[in-house]
Amino acid sequence: MGSLCPLNIRLLRWRTRVGRTTAIRNLDLLAIAVQAKSYRCVKLYQADELPGRPPLLWVFAFSPDDHVRVAVSVHATPGGGWAYYDAGRGRHGYLAPCGDTKRAADQVDAILKHRMFPATW
């Protein structure tokens, strides 16, 4: 028996795995945008020891008492596009299309502010 997952979802997962360089390029652009908002980033896709792992960009916000973080990934979307996702929420964590890096950075900013100050949602 084959997988119960529909063909289009399997195709998107395959494109996401094969398109590692595209994902890395988009995450680099997002890293620049969130660093302009004074956040720190850890690029978990530059390590040669992790070539089989999906590329992730960890974005951190620090306060004197605590820190919060969000992991961002890039997935293929229907129609040949790519989009940023909150990696902790998978495909339900859609942030923005990769062509709109400013919107994705604003979404990351909103998530981090909410995690740092829960009353600001």
103 belongs to a structural domain: yes
Question: Average pLDDT for residues 7-12, to the nearest whole number?
Answer: 86
Question: Average pLDDT for residues 84-103, to the nearest whole number?
Answer: 93
Contact 95, 105 (CB under 8 A): no
Task: For residue 21, give the nearest of 98, 86, 97 by alpha carbon.
Answer: 98
pLDDT band of 116, cuts 50, 70, 90: confident
Please tell me the predicted confidence (pLDDT) of residue 1. 46
Amino acid at residue number 87: A
111 belongs to a structural domain: yes
114 belongs to a structural domain: yes
1 belongs to a structural domain: no
92 belongs to a structural domain: yes
How many domains does the chain fold into?
A: 1
Show the domain range for 56: 7-120
Position 27 pLDDT exceeds 70: yes
49 belongs to a structural domain: yes
